[in-house]
Amino acid sequence: MNKLVIASNNPGKLREIAAILAPLAIEVVTQGALGVPEAEEPHCTFIENALAKARHASRITGLPALADDSGVCVHALGGEPGVHSARYAEDAPSGRDEQDRRNNVKLLQALSSATDRSAHYYCVIVLVRHADDPQPLIAEAEWHGEILREPRGSGGFGYDPLFLVPEFGRTGAELQPEEKNRVSHRGRALAQLVARLRASQ
């Protein structure tokens, strides 16, 4: 495999994925650079949405495709926002940063009276070699923490400013990118995938 399309237009995800895949010497190109529109994500599970995105990008480009589906699952909210994490709040017309801010505000409002603030990030990574691949490579991981009452930190993206990582005493947004990639849900899922790709080379 010499070239791979990433089925995402989220700049934060793209940075993290490209950094972890870099040692494989695979040319990574984003679906946006190839004119691939975003896939529908109508499913109620992360795995189904990730598969839909990967197959969509592969079918249009003819390339192997990697897709991530991830989100934060808050225990007091029955696992919400879950698969709806990216668009938990009303869609923001002015871009990803404003969407993240709205999502964080809505989450804080939903948890305003909650005493249990435990949560976990979940990520599933799917790689299809072609659109109809009957054996996609699948890797998954969770990252456990709790939701603060106000944001901290300027790094990361999504819910990172609210997500306290107990072993560090810092939020996802206060971790350096290298630290986050080592311990996060996406970082560990991608590390599993990289190990499997190396083993098959």
* Active site amino acids: 69
- In the chain, % helix, strand, coil (3-state, to 5) comes to 45, 25, 35
Question: Alpha carbon of 148 to those of 8, 27, 81, 171, 195: distances in Å?
Answer: 28, 38, 16, 9, 34
At a CB cut-off of 8 Å and minimum separation 6, what does 85 contact?
70, 71, 72, 103, 158, 159
Residue in this structure with the two tokens 């870099």, named with its chain if needed: 22
Cis peptide before 161 (omega within 30 of 0): no
